[in-house]
Amino acid sequence: MDKKKGLPNEWFRDSQSGQAKPDRAKSGKSKNLNKRQIAWVLAGAISYWFAFLLIIALFQLNRLTIERVESDIPKSPGKTWLLIGSDSRDDIDNPVLKGAPLGKFEGQRSDTIIIMSVPKIGTPLQITSIPRDLVVTIPARGDTGVKKNKINAAYAFGGPSLSLNTVEKLVGVQMDNYAEIGFAGLVNVVNSFGGIKVCPSQDFSDKKSGLEIKEGCQNVNGLTALAYSRMRYADPKGDIGRTERQQEVVTQIMKKSLSPFTLLNPLRAPRTVSALANAVTVSKGVGPFDLVPLVIALRSGGIDSATMPNKSGGNVGDLGSTRKLTNDAQEVIKALQDGSKIPSFEVKE
């Protein structure tokens, strides 16, 4: 006999389960709520993690005051950094440099001079090398008048401030930030990553830098990376080859230091941040938000490298072997001033 005959259907439950049917809408809302909760927890954990890394950096970061000679030099629409690699031997007794044939001499010069720029959001990070033997006009400082000399001598005459002012005078663009690293700092930073990858185009054996390396891509430690970026005498391309290797080392350091694998690794990140903070000296005012355009540019398009177009300037008096800019350099300078992509030209021997 049909029990439903003559009675409303809603009086009876589902005959198979004996229970009322679940509310699917409520179930879907519950799942979405759980996903949002998980996302908020993850976002909070990542925020606390980066705050922890920031505290490490702020307590250890070295800062200096930059004094500008000519304040009327305009800024670029993009963001610009001046990166200096100092050849100071002040830290020559540091244990991490044991075995490196650095030699000893008084004073210090800028062994590496690079303009790092981010033209606009969504474009690659750009590094433009300036040859250290380039003869330029060095601005007056104190009792010293304007003079012509190699660009790396500006650091010896007036430290970071005069070096930055000299580069700004050369390109007609005010640098937003300044960063400097020495020999021991470079070694420590590379070692904090567990090494970096370099790809020499041939075998090199150079006693003056201590570089012994075979052709092909390979992972190298800090001491080898230092020798790799300093070596020039065993390279047929001389200082041009050294500039290319310096760009290679800087590129690898930037990629490793700003990669999610490094920053989110609980074992590697604190060690790397600490090594970077101790190794790098920056201008006052540099903060965590100054790194954001660099990270975005790196994730958007990687890194493009170029060298200020130059050629041999011959031997000049007491200066020895020199370099001078070619006409193509004006296009690079204009790109820096406009905040546009840096064009790349072949550097002449």
Query: Three-class SS string for 255-292?
Result: HHHCCHHHHCCCCCHHHHHHHHHHHEEEECCCCHHHHH
pLDDT bucket at 98, cuts 50 / 70 / 90:
confident
**CA dihedral angle for residue 230, residue 245, residue 128, residue 146, rounded to 10 degrees:** 20
Instruction: Decide if 187 is inside a domain.
Output: yes
Q: Quote the CA–CA distance of 82 and 87 in Å, as a whole number.
A: 16
Instruction: Decide if 271 is inside a domain.
Output: yes
Q: Quote the CA–CA distance of 144 and 135 in Å, as a whole number.
A: 17
Least confident of 37-51, 215-229, 269-283: 37-51
Domain of residue 284, residue span: 61-338
Instruction: Decide if 30 is inside a domain.
Output: no
SS3 of residue 189 by DSSP: helix
Buried-exposed string 178-198: b where 16+ CB fall within 10 A, e elsewhere: bbbbbbbbbbbbbbbbebbeb
Q: Quote the CA–CA distance of 266 and 207 in Å, as a whole number.
A: 39
Least confident of 132-136, 141-145, 221-225, 324-328: 141-145
* Residue among 133, 149, 130 nearest 141 (CA): 149
Instruction: Decide if 13 is inside a domain.
Output: no
Q: Provide the domain count of the chain.
A: 1
pLDDT bucket at 70, cuts 50 / 70 / 90:
low
Helices (H) and strands (E) in the chain, counts: 9, 15
CATH number of the CATH domain containing 202: 3.40.630.190
Amino acid sitting at position 336: L
In 144-209, beta strands by DSSP E: 147-150, 177-181, 196-198, 204-206
Higher pLDDT, 118 or 330: 330
Instruction: Calculate ∠ Cα 33-36-37, nearest 5°.
Output: 85
Contact by Cβ (8 Å): 257, 277: no
In whole numbers, what is the pLDDT of the chain averaged over residues? 83
- Measured in whole angstroms, the distance separating CA 255 from the mean position of its chain's CA atoms is 7
Q: Quote the CA–CA distance of 273 and 275 in Å, as a whole number.
A: 5
Report pLDDT digits (tens) over 7-37: 555 545 554 555 555 555 555 556 665 777 7
Instruction: Decide if 199 is inside a domain.
Output: yes
pLDDT bucket at 210, cuts 50 / 70 / 90:
very high
Position 147 scores a pLDDT of: 85
Contact by Cβ (8 Å): 63, 282: yes
- pLDDT at residue 317 tops 70: yes
Q: What end-to-end distance do the CA atoms of the chain give, in Å?
A: 104
For the whole prediction, is pTM greater than 0.85? no
Position 99 scores a pLDDT of: 82
* CB within 8 Å of 89: residues ≥ 6 apart: 102, 103, 104, 105, 108, 183
Position 129 scores a pLDDT of: 95
Amino acid sitting at position 21: K
Instruction: Decide if 162 is inside a domain.
Output: yes
pLDDT bucket at 152, cuts 50 / 70 / 90:
very high
Instruction: Calculate ∠ Cα 226-228-230, nearest 5°.
Output: 70
Phi-psi region of 339 (alpha: psi -120 to 50; beta: other; left: phi over 0): left
Q: What is the phi/psi pair of residue 242, to 5°?
A: -65, -40
* Burial (CB count <10 Å: 0-12, 13-18, 19+), residue 261: exposed
Report pLDDT digits (tens) over 175-203: 999 999 999 999 999 999 899 999 999 99
Instruction: Decide if 53 is inside a domain.
Output: no
* CB within 8 Å of 21: residues ≥ 6 apart: 14
Average pLDDT over residues 63-86: 87
Position 27 scores a pLDDT of: 59
Amino acid sitting at position 258: L
Say how many C-beta atoms besides its own lie within 10 A of residue 144's C-beta: 12
Instruction: Decide if 184 is inside a domain.
Output: yes
Position 6 scores a pLDDT of: 56
Higher pLDDT, 237 or 46: 237
Percent of the chain with pLDDT over 90: 41
* CB within 8 Å of 285: residues ≥ 6 apart: 177
**Encoded tokens for 207:** 């006693």
* CB within 8 Å of 93: residues ≥ 6 apart: none
